[in-house]
Amino acid sequence: MFNWFRRKINKTESEPVSEPTEQVTTPETEPSSKQSDQEDYLTWAKTAYKNIQQRQTPSTSQPEATELPPETTEQPVTEVEPETPQNSQSPPKETKKEETPAWMQKSDRLEALKETAMETAAVEDTTPITFDEEFVWSAKVLAAQGRAPDDISEEEINWLKRLRQGLGKSRRGLVNQLKSIVGQGPLNEDAVMEIEALLLQADTGIEATDYIISTLQNKLLEEALPPEQALDYLKSILRDILDRPLQKVVNPGFAPEKGVLNIWLLTGVNGAGKTTTIGKLAHLAQKSGYNCIIAAADTFRAAAVEQVKVWGERTNTPVIANPGKNTDPAAVVFDGISAAQARQADLLLVDTAGRLQNKKNLMAELAKIRRIIDKKADKAQVESLLVLDATLGQNGLRQAQVFSEAANLSGVVLTKLDGTAKGGVALAVAQQLELPIRFIGVGEGIEDLRPFSSYEFVEALLNE
Ligand SMILES: Nc1nc2c(ncn2[C@@H]2O[C@H](COP(=O)(O)OP(=O)(O)OP(=O)(O)O)[C@@H](O)[C@H]2O)c(=O)[nH]1
C-alpha cells in the first residue's frame, strides 16, 4: 500500500548553500539543448498522460480523452529506476541508457532529487484528468525528481496542480520581476532594494530576505550567471532555507513510525484549520494503512468537538470525546491513549485548544497533556504540530512565536496556501521559527493536504 506520509530525506539536500553546486541544475549553455529538454519533458508528460488514461480504461464511465498534441518521439519512456530487482515474470528491462531521456542522463541533480521525491503512488483519483499546461508542469516536476511516466497517478498530478494554482498569485508577482533583476551580473543597490521589496511583499520576512540576498550576492560576485541560472541558484537557496530545520529534528520523516504509538498534538489559534487538518491527516492515515484514532481534546468549544466528529465520520476514524462541557482536555487525551492502546492504533491525532489570550493557561494545558502522555505512553513518538494560517503572514508568525514558547513544537502545518496567502511565509516560518514545515494545506477538501516538499513548493513558487 502506498504510504502518503512518506518522504525520504536526503541529508545533502539540506546542507548549507555554501557549496551549492549539486543543487543547481547543470548550466544549459546551448539554446538548442534547452529546446530539446522542453520536447523531452513534453514527451514524458504525454506518456504519463497516456498511462493514466490506460489505467482508467477498464472503468465504464471513462471521461473523454483530451486530444494530445502530435507525437514528437515514438518511444514511450517506461523505466528509469534501475535499482528495482528483476522480476522473472516481467519482461526483461531494456538498458537505462536507451530509455532515459537525454536531459535526465546529464543531470546529477536527478539522483539527489530522487531521494526527496515521493514514492510511487498507485492510487487513483476520480477527478477527470486533462492534458493541459498544468498537467505538463506537474509532470515536469515529477520527472525532475526521477519519477518514471508509468508510475504517475492522477492524484499526484491533481495535487501539484492545486499547489501551483494556490501559489499562482505569489508566483506571478515574483518570477518575471526576479528574472529581470537577477540576470544582470552582481546586484547593485537598486537591484538589492527591488529584490528586498519583492521578497518582503511575499511575506518572506526580514531574516530570510537578508539571508537570500546576501547568499545570492556572494554567488553573483563569484560568477556571472544568466537569468535562468541565477533563478535556479535562487531556488536552491530557498530549498536550503526550507530544509535546514529538518537537520535538528529527531524524526525528519513525515510518516508515523510503525510498531509504536505515534501521538500528534495539533495546536493553533481558532480558525487556523486545526480541525480540518486533523480530518485530512486521518484521511491520509486511512489510505496509507495506518490504524488511526482522534482525541477531541479541544473541549473549550462544544462545536469544535462536533466538528471533529464529523471529520471522524467522513474518514471512518474513531473519535474519543468527553460529552461534558468544558471537561479537562488532559482527561480526553488519557482516554484517547487508552483507546489507542486497546486497539493497537498506530496514530493518535489530538485536537488541542489554542487560546492565545492566555499563554499561561495554554502552557499549563499543554504541559498537563504532556505529563499524561509521559505517564501513560512513555514509549510513544510524540509530535507537536502548530497549525498556521498562511494568509496571516507575519501576524501568524508572531502567534507562532507564542506557541513555540508554550508548546515545544516539532513542526508546522501551513494551511490556506490556496487563498490570499503569499508563498514567502513558508520561508519565514523555516528561517524565523527554525521549525520544519511538515504538511501544507491548499484547500478545504479532504485531499487538500500533503507532506511538504521543498522542491515541489519552490517549483510552484518560482517556475512559470
Ligand atoms: N481555503 C482553505 N481553507 C481552509 C484550509 N484549511 C482549513 N480551511 C478552512 O478554514 C476554516 C477554519 O478551519 P477549522 O479546521 O475549523 O479551524 P480550527 O483551527 O479547527 O478552528 P476552531 O475549530 O475554531 O478551533 C474552515 O472553513 C476550513 O474549511 C485550507 O488549506 N485552505
> Which residue's alpha carbon is at the smallest distance from atom 14 of ligand 1?
273
- C-alpha of residue 273 to centroid of ligand 1, in Å: 3
Is there an atom of ligand 1 within 6 Å of 443 CB? yes
User: What's residue 281's pLDDT?
Assistant: 97
Is there an atom of ligand 1 within 6 Å of 304 CB? yes
Pocket of ligand 1, candidates 267, 276, 399: which has the most ligand atoms within 8 Å of its Cβ, to mutate? 276
Binding-site residue ranges: 268-275, 351-355, 415-418
Report the C-alpha gap between 147 and 51 in whole angstroms: 13
Burial group, residue 40, by CB count within 10 angstroms (0-12, 13-18, 19+): buried
- C-alpha of residue 353 to centroid of ligand 1, in Å: 14
- Per-residue pLDDT 10s for the chain (464 aa) are 677 776 544 433 333 333 323 333 333 333 345 556 666 778 888 888 888 887 766 544 444 444 454 443 333 322 222 233 333 333 333 333 334 444 444 445 445 554 544 444 444 445 577 888 889 999 999 988 888 888 888 888 988 999 998 888 778 777 778 877 887 778 888 888 889 999 998 899 999 999 999 999 888 888 888 888 888 999 999 999 999 999 887 776 778 998 899 999 999 888 899 999 999 999 999 999 999 999 998 877 778 888 899 999 999 999 999 877 667 888 999 999 999 999 999 999 999 876 655 677 777 888 888 899 999 999 999 999 999 999 998 888 888 888 887 778 899 999 999 878 888 999 999 999 999 999 999 999 999 999 999 999 999 988 77
Determine how β-strand 449-451 pairs with β-strand 437-441.
Answer: antiparallel
Q: Where do runs of H (alpha helix) occur along 393-434?
A: 393-407, 425-428
- C-alpha of residue 335 to centroid of ligand 1, in Å: 26
Binding-site residue ranges for GTP: 268-275, 351-355, 415-418
Rounded (10°) angle between helices 189-201 and 206-222: 140
Is there an atom of ligand 1 within 6 Å of 273 CB? yes
Please name the helix (run of DSSP H) or strand (run of DSSP E) that holds residue 122, with its range, or none. Answer: none
User: What's residue 84's pLDDT?
Assistant: 32
Number of the ligand 1 atom closest to the C-alpha atom of 304: 23
User: Which one-letter DSSP state was computed for residue 326?
Assistant: T
Is there an atom of ligand 1 within 6 Å of 281 CB? no
Report the C-alpha gap between 262 and 347 in whole angstroms: 5
- C-alpha of residue 277 to centroid of ligand 1, in Å: 8
CB 338 within 8 A of CB 321: no
Closest CA to 162 of 455, 450, 356, 372: 450
Is there an atom of ligand 1 within 6 Å of 270 CB? yes
Closest CA to 294 of 271, 266, 317: 317
Pocket of ligand 1, candidates 159, 386, 444: which has the most ligand atoms within 8 Å of its Cβ, to mutate? 444
Number of the ligand 1 atom closest to the C-alpha atom of 278: 15
pTM of the model: 0.80
Maximal CA-CA distance, the chain: 70
Please name the helix (run of DSSP H) or strand (run of DSSP E) that holds residue 8, with its range, or none. Answer: none
User: What's residue 325's pLDDT?
Assistant: 65
Is there an atom of ligand 1 within 6 Å of 312 CB? no
Number of the ligand 1 atom closest to the C-alpha atom of 443: 32
- C-alpha of residue 287 to centroid of ligand 1, in Å: 22
Is there an atom of ligand 1 within 6 Å of 272 CB? yes
- C-alpha of residue 124 to centroid of ligand 1, in Å: 26
> Which residue's alpha carbon is at the smallest distance from atom 25 of ligand 1?
270
Is there an atom of ligand 1 within 6 Å of 162 CB? no
Domains, the chain, ordered by start: 130-246 (1.20.120.140), 256-409 (3.40.50.300)
Interface ipTM: 0.97
